[in-house]
Amino acid sequence: MSNTVIVLVVLALVLGIGIVLYNRLVAGRNAVQNAFRQIDVQLKRRLDLIPNLVESVKGYMKFEQETLEKVIQARNAALKAGSTEEVFAANAALGQATKGLFGLMESYPELKAQGNVAQLMEELASTENRIAFARQHYNDMVNAQNDRIQQFPGNLLAGPFGFRQEVYWELDEAEKAIAAAPPKVSL
Amino acid sequence: MSESAAEKPFISPWSPLGRRRDRAFADQAEAARQAAARGADKKTLDFELKSTDFRAAAARNVRKTAWLIVLLAVIAVVLGYVAGLCLEILTGAHPALNDPNVPPTDLLFSGWGGTAAVAMAIAFVVALVWAQRSADATVLKLHGAVEADPQKDAVLHNVVEEVAIAAGLPKPAVYVVESEALNAFATGFKPERAAVSVTRGLLDRLNREELQGVVAHEMAHIGNRDVRLAVTVAMIVGLIAILSSLLRNSVRVGSVSGTGIRISSSRSSSRGGKGGASGLALVILVVGIIIIILAPIFALLVRMAISREREYLADATAAGLTRNPKGLASALAKIADNPRVEKAPAALEHVWIESPVRAYGEKSTALFSTHPPTAARIERLLDLR
């Protein structure tokens, strides 16, 4: 009799721990997906801001039409990008182009002093930070979820219930080149 | 400025050289203040990083907080037991006082004490659980903070949004305190209803990198639920203080009327052979009263230690959010120079990034302070492990 009770209690305990672990894995997977959407939101924000900035500086930067053209082209490419890989690549190129524009604007102090332009540059600078932080947060969430999947006892549940290792957001080649030699931008 | 900062030797916060380190830091803060007064220095101070393992640092701080809370629980339970024991002896209800067959050492075991200890343990748990479910506290109005204008204070709004994204938390409300001082604080029991407030002086004198560090520190307080923890701990410490003062009064009344002592001495004289019990009863009463008097002081010490530990934790978490400990370190150095906010009530000292009531130059290493000394915080920020 008492043996049955002990067995039942142990079973209930194991089941309870299993439920908690499973729910944590689900919550972790959702957090990773949510963090990934957050990157999308910030990339979209950059796409929306760029035409305004280019419009505002076009008049002043007559001799830099080529750079402006590059930024617009990169933006349009990012808009059209379909698959995830294309989105990554196009946005990396766009990031590079906007940084080039920022660098050029350094040599136009009267431009930076303009209220409208200063405001747009602040917004764009903030957006670049947000994209970086959104990626960092995504990677943090991936790190936490992968810990849950690999560590005992989560690893016992992860396999049977189909929780896969999440993939880190890594820099592509173009971004690595920038990271190695960042352009000087001081706002 | 930057060169002199880099040349400063590394001094462990726990070494006997700690005091000299404080002085070295004061020199640096003085130089920063002079530079800022000239309107020249908005640059981030140049610090040398020793180690950046913010996860290990944060984990250590969390562990220490847990131990401190256990210590607080022990104080509460011990106080409960001692209270029950003393009252049982004072009222003469203790069996060992009345029954000559019970050995006198049984005076140490008290049914009343056991009951009171269990009651304290239950009160402790109830306080913790209550805090989990309680509503928001309205701390903001007390500081005269006004909502930051999205146009005028766009940079502040942007920085808060950026750090919220890094933390994966909803963007908190943003407030500005119109004060020349440099300080900031966070309020809110849960991230969904939280607010970050910074002073005007902070916005004017820090650069974007430093502001980001400060906001990250506040966001860390929000994410770590530090306001809630502080309120809970204050509640428990208050409970211990009230109980202690009630007991002091009742014990005094008891000894003045002489109930306890008369009872125990009458037993010893009338029955003989129980002199051990009455003598022991007196010793227990004296030790018990000392414990009752000291308990609230120890509890307050633990509360302050928890507060300081949460500051270190928020610093480590902030470094993890921005991946830039130097920004916060530089901001702390500039804030230490001028953290005093007029009208800031001392009761809410713990929510600010740096104590708003501590006088400039005052030693902050004291056990009773809510914030660790700035030099020690910077030291740890540059050497996270």
Q: pLDDT by residue (tens digit) across B161-197? A: 999 999 999 999 999 988 888 899 888 888 888 889 9
Q: Residue B240: give the domain boundaries.
A: 59-135+229-305
Which chain B residues touch A130 with a CB distance below 8 Å? Answer: 161-162, 165
Cβ within 8 Å, pair B161-A130: yes
Q: Is residue B38 part of a domain?
A: no
Lowest-confidence range among A10-14, A37-41, B36-40, B172-176?
B36-40
B319 and B378 in a single domain? The answer is: yes
pLDDT for A14: 93
A136–B323 CB contact, under 8 Å: yes
B218 and B140 share one domain: yes
> Active site includes B218?
yes
**Chain A residues 168-187 with a CB less than 8 Å from chain B:** 187
State the maximum Cα–Cα separation within chain B, in Å, rounded to a whole number: 87
A124: nearest CA partner in chain B: B158
CA distance B197 to chain A (A): 20
Task: Output the pTM of the full model.
Answer: 0.82
What are the phi and psi torsion angles at B119 (to 5°)? -60, -40
Q: ipTM value, please give it.
A: 0.82
**CA atoms of B131 and B236, how far apart (whole Å):** 11
Least confident of A97-106, B23-32, B95-104, B303-312: B23-32
Please report the residues numbered 3 through 62 in chain A whose beta carbons come closer than 8 angstroms to any beta carbon of chain B.
31, 35, 38, 42
Residues B179 and B291 in one domain: no
Tell which of B257, B274, B305 closes a domain: B305
Amino acid B379: pLDDT:
87
Structural domains in chain A, sorted by start: 37-148+166-180 (1.20.1440.20)
Q: Is position B53 within any domain?
A: no
Residue B178 in domain: yes
Average pLDDT of chain A is 84
- Whether B63 and B185 share a structural domain: no
Domain-ending residue, one of B305, B328, B347: B305
The CATH number covering residue B371 comes to: 3.30.2010.10
- Give dist(CA A50, CA A68) in Å, integer: 10
* Per-residue tokens: B361: 């130059």
**Inter-chain touch B161–A187, beta carbons under 8 Å:** no
- How many domains does chain B divide into? 2
Residue B19, in any domain of the structure: no
CB A142 within 8 A of CB A32: yes
| Pair B149, B196 in one domain | yes
Closest CA to B336 of B378, B368, B383: B378
For residues B79 and B216, membership in a common domain is answered with no
Among A78-92, B57-71, B117-131, the least confident range:
A78-92
pLDDT for residue B16 is more than 70: no
Give residue-wise pLDDT tens across range A154-171.
Answer: 888 888 888 888 888 876
Q: Could you give the C-alpha distances from B313 to A140, B59, B65, B189, B223, in angstroms and in order?
A: 18, 8, 9, 17, 11
From the list B209, B218, B311, B354, the catalytic residue is B218
Predicted confidence at residue B363, as pLDDT, reads 54
CA–CA gap between residue B27 and residue B9 (Å, rounded): 13
Site of tokens 């002086």: B201
Are B141 and B129 within one domain? Answer: no
> What residues in chain B have their Cβ under 8 A from chain A's Cβ atoms?
154-155, 158-159, 161-163, 165-168, 208, 321, 323
H or E stretch covering A129: helix A115-150
Please say whether the beta carbons of B341 and B252 come within 8 A.
no
On whether residue B40 sits in a domain, the answer given is no
Kindly report the average pLDDT of chain B as a whole number.
80
Cα dihedral sign, A50-A51-A52-A56: positive
Same domain, B127 and B143: no
Of B154, B163, B321, the CB nearest to A119: B154
Distance between CA atoms of residues B48 and B87, nearest Å: 59
Which of B253, B275, B305 is the C-terminal boundary of a domain? B305
pLDDT tens by residue, B222-267: 999 888 888 889 889 998 999 999 888 877 766 655 554 544 444 4
User: Which of the residues B42, B153, B165 would you substitute to probe the A interface, choosing the one with the greatest number of A C-beta atoms within 10 Å?
Assistant: B165
Would you say residue B321 lies in a domain? yes
What are the residue ranges of helices labelled H in chain B?
2-7, 18-37, 54-90, 95-98, 111-133, 154-167, 200-205, 208-223, 226-257, 259-271, 275-322, 325-336, 374-381
Beta-carbon separation of B154 and A35 below 8 A: no
Assess contact for B29 and B336: CB atoms under 8 A.
yes
> Is 80 exceeded by the pLDDT of residue B30?
no
B266 and B141 in a common domain: no
Residues B340 and B378 in one domain: yes
User: Are both B202 and B313 inside the same structural domain?
Assistant: yes
Residue B196 and residue B246 in one domain = no
